Structure 1
Amino acid sequence: MPSIAQRFHVARRDARPLPDFPGTLPDTLADAYAIQEEAIGLWPDAVAGWKVASIHPDLRERFLAARLAGPVFSRGVYRVAPGAVAQVPVIRGGFIAVETEIGLVVGADIAPRPAPWTLAELLPYLASAHVAMEIAGSPLPTINDIGPMAVISDFGNNTAIAIGAEIPGWRTDGFEGLKTQMRIDGKLIGEGAAVGANGGPLDACLFLANHLATRGRGLGKGDVISAGATTGVHPLEIGQVAEAVCVGVPPLTVLLGARTAA
């Protein structure tokens, strides 16, 4: 019988929605990340970054974690110049949403190590910060409703990461006070801030480096880190246009298209 990772793999490859979680939901984070690792091995592309997301506060005590992570593959990284529009394909009938995020680009290899990283140690490894958009997506339309075990199992519910204009002054000024927005088809549907109750992009980066080390993984030069939703998770449909905004920086624009079988 195909494994959970194999079933997700085939559904993503065929651009086909799944009616329910393809197997028995894992009991622990370790089990869910084991499924994710198997799925990474099946996918015919190199990991080029990671998304970080918050675990709902009501579930953190149960899972002893406040964040989760999922891989971003090289063909799912879109670098978008100001004024350009990235066309990103998603699975019709699956989960489709967008999030305004802060994207961090790694400037030098970060090798895994047994001792936890500190933020002061990590900062020199980061090259730049950008307005970013996660295009969340899965063949399983109910993935977020099921919860973190399902999300982790399927690449963290990620389809793509778009990276836009660079945010100036972040290294000296930090991200405090940086306001963010999401617009869909020109309409403002969400507002927020780069730093929220769960911390900010640098906290997410620190979590990620230490989390990946427990899996024997590091980060490579040029990898992108999508550091968590700042205005919420916004469902939308194929054909709609989403704009991620960091106030004071040119907006990042994405048009969603329909994905076809690979």
Structure 2
Amino acid sequence: MPAAIALARQLSDADNKGIRLDSASLTEPGTPAEAFAVQRETLALNGWLTAGYKVAIRPDGSSVSAPMAHITHASTSGTAGFDRPAVDALEVEICFVLGKDLAPRNTPYTRETLLDHVAAIYSGVEFLGHRLDDGSRSPALLFLADRLGNAGYVLGEELPAKVTEPGQTYPLTITINGDAVFEGPGKHPNNDPVAAFLLFANALTEPVAKGRIITTGSLCGAIPTPPRAAIAISGFTTLTVTAASTRED
């Protein structure tokens, strides 16, 4: 545990200062459990509450996840601001808001029983803010300890349930400071927004509380953002976000 605390302090300091650490100088956790311990300790050091989780499927088919602390809700007019010391990129996503506590269970969740725990489905923008010099190319367990690069999330507008059906593409255009940076269609990396959520639910060891959000993958990949970014999203959803970062590369 002392190693987890030390790494959490280093990552926390980098997060709050908007700097990147030399991955080679850090001690990589030995197991996923140790990396998850670093995640929890980083949040605890700052008094940040876990407001949601980003979840994904590893190449070996297992679940991987990271807590998200900084979540902003767009206004009724579809606008929001997002400001963190480190903001490097954005991902447009589909997310789930839990309407019931999601608890570990002996009988696995099915798609139907899992979605019964969902109160609403929203569009969202995940912001990435890497605390490691190689970002997602850093050693796997070090990147996991860095909360998979998550900086925060903007919750957009409520969407119809049909957006979670497998095999879809999503009309999507993204502009940053007036320049088009993505022109659809958007596509989920697992071809199904629910797949990683279901795997995550069936790997739980402790409950996830009602009201938390679960987001499962980018429809557009990771799109770099400048320190000041006026972001306009249109297509399957409409959202305008002004993002700011103090990072100095």
Q: 1:117 to 1:259 in 2, by over 3 A?
A: farther
Partner Cα separation in structure 2 for residue 243 and residue 71 of structure 1: 26
1:174 equivalent to 2:177? Answer no
Partner Cα separation in structure 1 for residue 129 and residue 83 of structure 2: 10
> Given that residues 138 and 157 in structure 1 are in contact (C-alpha distance below 8 angstroms), is that contact kept between their aligned partners in structure 2?
yes
Q: TM-score, normalised by structure 1?
A: 0.80
> Given that residues 62 and 199 in structure 2 are in contact (C-alpha distance below 8 angstroms), is that contact kept between their aligned partners in structure 1?
no
Q: 1:34 to 1:155 in 2, by over 3 A?
A: same
2:7 equivalent in structure 1? 4
Paired AA for residue 242 in structure 2: L
Q: Structure 1 vs Structure 2: percent identity of aligned residues?
A: 24
Q: 1:31 to 1:169 in 2, by over 3 A?
A: closer
1:44 equivalent in structure 2? 47
Q: 1:186 to 1:103 in 2, by over 3 A?
A: farther
In the TM superposition, 1:118-129 aligns within 5 A as: 118-129=110-121
Task: Provide structure 2 residue ranges, at least 5 long, that are not aligned to the other structure.
Answer: none
2:75 equivalent in structure 1? 81
Equivalent of residue 214 in structure 2, options 199, 206, 225: 225
2:29 equivalent in structure 1? 26
Partner Cα separation in structure 1 for residue 142 and residue 90 of structure 2: 18
Task: Provide structure 1 residue ranges, at least 5 long, that are not aligned to the other structure.
Answer: none
Q: 1:21 to 1:113 in 2, by over 3 A?
A: farther
1:193 equivalent to 2:182? Answer no
In the TM superposition, 1:132-147 aligns within 5 A as: 132-147=124-139
Shift of 1:54: 5.1
Shift of 1:105: 0.8
1:108 equivalent to 2:100? Answer yes
Partner Cα separation in structure 2 for residue 30 and residue 217 of structure 1: 13
In the TM superposition, 1:238-253 aligns within 5 A as: 238-245=227-234, 247-249=235-237, 251-253=238-240
Q: How many residues matched?
A: 242
> Given that residues 132 and 143 in structure 2 are in contact (C-alpha distance below 8 angstroms), is that contact kept between their aligned partners in structure 1?
no
Q: 1:136 to 1:123 in 2, by over 3 A?
A: same
Q: 1:49 to 1:19 in 2, by over 3 A?
A: same
Backbone CA RMSD of aligned residues: 2.6
Q: 1:227 to 1:186 in 2, by over 3 A?
A: farther
> Given that residues 104 and 128 in structure 1 are in contact (C-alpha distance below 8 angstroms), is that contact kept between their aligned partners in structure 2?
yes
Shift of 1:27: 4.2
Paired AA for residue 12 in structure 2: H
Q: 1:36 to 1:174 in 2, by over 3 A?
A: same
Q: What secondary structure, in the 3-state scheme, does the structure 2 residue paired with 1:206 have?
A: helix
Q: What secondary structure, in the 3-state scheme, does the structure 2 residue paired with 1:52 have?
A: strand
1:255 equivalent to 2:247? Answer no
Paired AA for residue 68 in structure 2: V
Partner Cα separation in structure 2 for residue 71 and residue 104 of structure 1: 14
Q: 1:254 to 1:151 in 2, by over 3 A?
A: farther
Q: 1:84 to 1:179 in 2, by over 3 A?
A: closer
> Given that residues 68 and 156 in structure 1 are in contact (C-alpha distance below 8 angstroms), is that contact kept between their aligned partners in structure 2?
no
Partner Cα separation in structure 2 for residue 226 and residue 242 of structure 1: 20
Shift of 1:103: 1.5
Paired AA for residue 20 in structure 1: S
Partner Cα separation in structure 2 for residue 177 and residue 238 of structure 1: 30
Shift of 1:166: 1.1
1:68 equivalent in structure 2? 64
Partner Cα separation in structure 1 for residue 6 and residue 74 of structure 2: 36
Q: What secondary structure, in the 3-state scheme, does the structure 1 residue paired with 2:217 have?
A: coil
Paired AA for residue 45 in structure 2: L
Paired AA for residue 165 in structure 2: G
Partner Cα separation in structure 2 for residue 127 and residue 89 of structure 1: 28
